Structure formats: structure tokens, C-alpha cells
A = this chain, B = another copy of it.
Amino acid sequence: MSAPFTVSVPVRYRDLDPLDHVNHAVFATYLEIARTDYLESVVDIAAEEISFVIANLEIDYERPIVKGDEPEVSLRVSRLGDSSCTMTYEIRVGDDVAATAETTMVYIDPETKRPAPFPDEIREPIAAYEGLETMA
């Protein structure tokens, strides 16, 4: 099995809160950085063409991230359904796991603004990258 898609996320001072930790809501933004990079890199979708909505987000926080850390976010598409998919994430600082997470996203037809099956130009590159079956 190939290595998951991984990005480095530089910690910004603005990410910190009064506890000197990266604020917990910013973890969701770190996941989004990995996800938008994945969509651009694997599926060739630019940010302004993103046509997904997040249906569910779950994050387990294992340890704080502080300024000076160099977090990496890795993600896999762990389920590729008809019109939705699930991504699983790990945020690591060195060898430590800072958080694990999962998002479920639903594809929205840009015309009708309603959930719709993934078009092939989205489904196929994800399936190929992840080594997943492309059944609906």
C-alpha cells in the first residue's frame, strides 16, 4: 500500500490561542489544507471549483501543537461511495500523533446545487490513487 498523501503545515502565530496552543478549531483548517491540496493535486480541482460540502467531522486530539512544531497532515480516502466519501487523517509532529480525524464529504452538482454521484473525472483519479474499487 502506498504512502498516504502528506502535506507540511507551517504553524502561524495567529493559529495560537491564549493557552499558547494551536486552537482546536484550527485543526479543522489544517485538515482542510491537506484536503484542498489533495483535490488539487490528485483530482486537479482548483479551490474555486470545489463542489463538496462537509457532512461530518470528527477529531480526536492527542497532544497540543505549539509554535515551533512542524506538523504534517496525511490523509487517505478510506471510503469512496456513490455521492459521498470519507477521508481519514493523521496530524503528526515528528513521531508523535497530535490528532486523528475523519471527514465525510458529499458531492454537490454545481448546476443543481444538490447532492449527486461523483462524476468520473473525480471518482477515477481518487480510486486510482487510493487503489480503491470504483463501484458506485
Q: Which residues does A use to contact B, with CB under 8 Å?
A: 10, 12-14, 16-21, 23-26, 28-29, 32-33, 36, 46-48, 50, 53-61, 64, 66-68
Contacts and interface: CB of A to CB of B under 8 A. Distances in A.
B58 A29 contact: no
A12 B33 contact: yes
12 contacts: A12-B32, A12-B33, A14-B17, A18-B48, A20-B47, A24-B53, A24-B54, A25-B29, A53-B64, A55-B61, A56-B60, A58-B58
Within the oligomer, what is the number of copies of this chain? Answer: 4
Nearest to A63: B53
A59 B27 CA distance: 13
A61 B56 contact: yes
Nearest to A64: B53
A81 B29 CA distance: 30
Contacts of A36: 13, 67
